[in-house]
Structure 1
């Protein structure tokens, strides 16, 4: 007879309290067997513990288990505390006033619910982190003397993502992509580097618009390029600065004095009178509090050197696009914020740029999957109605709690992958292309060819890896055969040398 198993930890809290929030990523079970097993999936990990982990099965037992063995799901715990009530937590702290897990539960209860339990401040016990660094990435400690707990959330109790420690993220962190990019840039002449970076700013701009299936006019393109060049100076904590940048991006819309006032959604037409809704944004009335929380988290992540810059960029930028504070332009602002954070945290080389949108554009399916890691489970817990004719959507009930806290692990992993890709393909590729172009152009220019004709010839040679195709050759019939042969030989030599 195979071993039976019973839900425990946060999964058990979710089930037994009937919580209307997504299930936790780590789903823990205690079996009647003797083996420990982990089954890793895309959207969850099943952790089966042997029978020696069995406990009394009360809600408090499940909470104790979660605090000891699981990365914490703040959205789930917030819902659990509000549903469960305060008395059992209060009695637990009274019985174990210096216990590490009882004090963490006490701190999290008061922080996530905003309710103060009728308990005196604790006066003894070593400080312990609210989140367990073994399972999750944390921010620098901020002591809560009442609980003798260090508030190490990545944001605040009002708004914070969580990021689980994974082998993939640990490997990405050790790969030191910022240092790899700096080393790459040091190999090239500053003048050539400046030309490449100019091109990459334009590439990033056009790619970001193309993701939204838009083609900006030259004026909007120039404004966005300039905004990217000034990203380090941009202040995302200033609502007026965000609104000004949004107006520069979308153009033609009435300037906002606050955040959007209409309920919006992301969807697609799938038939006559039929619309498929992919993502429902927070209700307009919830935006002021959500944006205040987002800005508090942003302030912490921008100023805390102990937090990985890529984690900070993913947390800030993806949380922004999920809040969706504007009627339009949120996606482009979200991708702009990636650059702003990486610049501000000195991850981007001072003379460089990571054209991440170009990598996202090449990987549209992966980008959509990353966004849906948040939106897909969220949609199962929203009650809404769409008028397909008017394309207006009504959301019923309170929903702000679904956007305040979420697991951003997949998003950080995704962003690390795009940075690695853009270093290898866009940054390295453009520098390599310009270097080869210059080497071949020097020979063409030395043959007294007109500048335009020389550039045209070199571009054709670059397309064919140093060879001029027969159908292009008639365009250069006025060049002496020996000069043309010399240029072609040098082009083939450049490709052979660089490919070694």
Structure 2
């Protein structure tokens, strides 16, 4: 069985791209079918011969849009061959899409004038992909509706789980949750959320912030709702607040190569290499242009997930990238206007609880990207880095796993963290008030006893009973347990 479409193109042109997720192969099937994570293709449907254009047309029609492959292979397609195809099918959907992308990636016009016809066609099928704002090209009668533009674009497949999570309207639920609480309870729940979001974001980086740094990060999170566009100076200021080592404070985007190091020594220990310093500003300009333009135009949780992961993959600073990427998640939600001002979903708390899944989402990009770097170890912290592929790999990538993870964490942050913490606070208030009305107990002692019982399945432990036996009446312990049991 032979490969066709994107996998055929990858092999024939020896393209340095990420593995094709579902490579297309000719097989004994009567119609196109996904089997064993591959696309099985009937011989009658497969492109014939070794025509690059034929395989491109097949791929775009049946496999979707793979911008990593298209960005590298379309400039290798002869202009004459592309033009002949357009003239032969001036209203053809897929030939127009390829012609539009050929000009974008070749950075030249195929012809001064084109006689294309037919209705405007979308590059990304909305039934298959999460799409972005329309960018119509009258010349080709094509609408580039991706999550980005031809200079930087990610793809997110509309999987069943992503569709289901988006249908849950998590932000609407969060707003409704907030509206259903008293202002006092909401304030206390948010105080908990901001503090634990800060602690968890630092803990993911295996750091314990000092009190002043933690307070600064809490204030940073609270400022996410303030209207301000993202740019380099703002990100530098944010980075300075995110880090604990004053020597790592940035003045601008990095001018050095950085990398992530695992437990192994030498080149084998290098787990990820972000783009070269010369590419950082170019990538960040494209990314921030999108982020500033997406408010109200891209589903906020999708935009937040894409920006958060894209930022950390570019790694524009020498330190603080992880914490800043998680702040940007909150920033996109807050700036969307769809989340009540002051409300925060503690996604870092959920991420810390799901660190293996977080790593897996990061590795959906970092592992295949690492394969395209040749790293040499010269001893100590001295390395050489050579990118064996095209820089465009950082510009066009599949963010499906990252968005899915971001959606899952938002759901958990609301339903497991905020809901549970609020129920805890409400239960505490109910028990505390009831005991305080019946017994004379010191306030701080009663708080400790109620909290510890709520955290101990409603029981006042023997240790607590002994600890407070000289200051708290024995019947208080039983009353606390009885009240919690009735909640």
Using the size of structure 1 for normalisation, the TM-score is 0.91
What is the match of residue 268 of structure 1? 262
- Deviations for 1:317-353, whole angstroms, at most 9, x for unmatched residues? 1111101100000111111111111111244343421
Structure 1 pair 50–100 and aligned structure 2 pair: CA distance change class (3 A): same
2: CA distance, partners of 1:234 / 1:332: 20
- Matches of 2:303 and 2:484 in 1, distance apart? 41
Look up the SS of the partner of 1:47 in the other structure. strand
Deviates more, 1:74-83 or 1:115-124: 115-124
**1:333-352 to 2 correspondence within 5 Å?**
333-352=324-343
CA contact under 8 A between 1:313 and 1:341: conserved in structure 2?
yes
Q: Name which of structure 1's ranges 62-71 and 484-493 shifts more when overlaid on structure 2.
A: 484-493
Give the superposition deviation at 1:377: 1.2
Is structure 2 residue 439 aligned with structure 1 residue 450?
no
Q: Deviations over 1:34-88 (max 9, x none)?
A: 2543136xxxx31112233133232111111122122211111101113334332
Query: Could you report, residue by residue, the CA deviation over 1:363-415 in whole angstroms, capped at 9, with x for unpaired residues?
Result: 11111100000011112222332334124342245642110110001111111
1:71 and 1:136 in contact (8 A); partners too: no
Who is 1:489 aligned against? 479
Moved more, 423-432 or 395-404: 395-404
2:34 counterpart residue number: 38
2:193/2:344 contact within 8 Å kept: yes
**Alignment of 1:461 onto 2:468:** no
Secondary structure of the residue that 1:25 maps to in structure 2? Answer: coil
- The corresponding residue for 2:226 is 233
| Structure 2 CA distance for aligned equivalents of residues 438 and 143 of structure 1 | 57
Offset of 1:464 from its aligned partner? 2.6
Task: Identify if the C-alpha distance between structure 1 residues 396 and 403 changes in structure 2 by more than 3 Å, giving closer, same or farther.
Answer: closer
Question: CA 1:14 to 1:396, structure 2 compared with 1: closer, same or farther past 3 Å?
Answer: closer
Structure 2 residue 238 is matched with structure 1 residue 245: yes
The CA deviation string for residues 225-254 of structure 1, in whole angstroms up to 9 with x for no partner, is 011011122635221000001011114036
Give the conservation status (yes or no) of the 8 Å contact 2:48–2:54: yes
Q: 1:475 aligns with which of 456, 463, 467?
A: 467
Distance in 2, matches of 1:136 and 1:422, equals 25
The question of whether the paired residues in 2 share the 8 Å contact of 1:135 and 1:165 is answered with: yes
Name the residue aligned to 2:42. 50
| Deviation at residue 164 of structure 1 after TM alignment | 1.2
In structure 2, C-alpha distance between the alignment counterparts of 1:394 and 1:83, rounded to whole Å: 27
Matches within 5 A, 1:247-326: 247-250=240-243, 251-253=245-247, 255-271=249-265, 276-304=269-297, 307-326=298-317
- 1:431 — aligned with what? 422
Please name the residue that 1:419 is paired with.
Answer: 410
What secondary structure is seen at the aligned counterpart in 2 of 1:395?
strand
Match of residue 135 from structure 1 = 128
Equivalence map 1:90-105=2 (5 Å): 90-105=83-98
CA drift at 1:20:
1.0
* SS of 2:139 mapped into structure 1: coil
Distance in 2, Cα, partners of 1:36 & 1:150? 27
- The residue number in structure 2 matching 1:16 is 12
After superposing the two structures, state which structure 1 stretch, 155-164 or 234-243, moved more.
Answer: 234-243
Q: Runs of 5+ in structure 1 lacking a partner?
A: none
The question of whether the paired residues in 2 share the 8 Å contact of 1:154 and 1:301 is answered with no
Equivalent positions of 1:394-405 (< 5 A) are 394-396=385-387, 399-405=390-396
Alignment CA distance shift 1:493-1:89 (3 Å): same
In the alignment, structure 2 segments of 5+ residues that lack a partner are: none
Q: Distance in 2 between matches of 1:395 and 1:466?
A: 59
Find the aligned partners of 1:496 and 1:391 in 2 and give their Cα distance: 64
Q: Judge which range, 251-260 or 104-113, deviates more.
A: 251-260
CA contact (8 A) 2:4 2:47 kept: no
Q: Give the root-mean-square deviation of aligned CA atoms.
A: 2.1
* SS of equivalent residue, structure 1 residue 394: strand
Q: How many residues align?
A: 484
Matches of 1:401 and 1:29, distance apart in 2: 26
Pick closer, same or farther for the CA change 1:25–1:347 going to 2, 3 Å.
farther
Residue equivalent to 1:330: 321
Match of 2:367 among 376, 391, 394: 376
Which one of the candidate residues 67, 70, 76 is aligned to 2:63?
70
1:11 Cα offset (Å):
1.7
Deviation per residue, 1:91-146 (Å, 9 max, x gap): 21122222221111111111233222224144632111122223222122221111
Tell me the TM-score normalized by structure 2.
0.93
Aligned CA distance change for structure 1 residues 487 and 148 (closer, same or farther; 3 Å): same
